[in-house]
Amino acid sequence: MRTLFSLLPRRVRRFVRRGSGGLELVIFDMDGVLRDTILVVYTALCHTVEELGGVAPPFARYCAYYSYPWLNHFRSYGVTAPIEEIEVVFRKHRAALRSYYRMFPEAADVVRQLDGHGFMMASVSADTLEQTYADLRSVGIEGRFDLILGERFDKTAALEKACLRLDVAPHRAAYVGDLASDMEHAGAAGLMRIARVYENPPLPPDARILTCEADARLHGPLTGLAEIVLDLRPRDARSRVDADKALREAGAIED
């Protein structure tokens, strides 16, 4: 349902949002948040592990514990190849499955809803810019985004760049991701952290996305995201030194 506020010109909505003292910017991870690719990524991972002589994990284990740095997981699957070879093989298998990419059915409505509330929006993906645009265009929401970043493998740097490009203080931005490492990178960049938690398959209590630090968790479909974003209050800018230390301890970045 459209509100009177959502009928105002976008520049007016943005002006009011900026002066509200709340969040201004929502940054989406593509895979697992806007784009339903969990089975695609898992299938590509299984093909990669099997090609390189390892044993692929069950789907439930993958969903519960997979996160970056991914080399540790491949080692636990019995893969001894160097990381460069693993990446080449994985990208080959993932590219072969690209026709199976689908946006979550509720993604377009959620993006339009946030736009109606005056939020700026950006997306960050390791995929190509062309692929990301094509996926957003497939549901008619590419024009709702203020910034789209592709081929971004350093998420902390990508989040910092998005805030800088859009002139938003990091603590007034939120990142929505589906991996524990997404939350770690968002914390390192000083953003609010929203963890998306899948309901199928059911996750054990020690699943990484349930035990990592996050400012909010969205369980199930994206439809409840706007309510979470509207309720989040920006915190003071966090210590970058402390955040970097936490990332190093988790193995997500190197010295």
Helix/strand/coil (H/E/C) assignment for every residue in 151-173: CCCCHHHHHHHHHHHCCCCHHHE
Would you state the pLDDT for residue 2?
61
pLDDT in tens, 44-77: 999 999 999 999 999 999 999 988 777 888 999 9
Model confidence pLDDT, tens digit, residues 85-98: 999 999 999 999 99
Summarize pLDDT for 156-174 with one digit per residue, the tens.
999 999 999 999 999 999 9
pLDDT at 253: 47
Contact 215, 232 (CB under 8 A): yes
Query: What was the pLDDT predicted at 238?
Result: 47
Q: What is the structure's pLDDT at 7?
A: 74
Ranges of the chain with pLDDT below 50: 237-241, 243-248, 252-255
How far is residue 117 from each of residues 35, 106, 201, measured CA to CA in Å?
A: 22, 17, 32
Q: Is the dihedral of CA 4, 6, 11, 13 positive or negative?
A: positive
pLDDT on residue 249: 55
195's enclosing H/E stretch is strand 192-197
CA separation for the pair 181, 13 (Å, rounded): 32
Under 8 Å between Cβ of 124 and 158 = yes
Strand 120-124: give its sheet, edge to edge. 147-149, 120-124, 25-29, 173-177, 192-197, 216-219
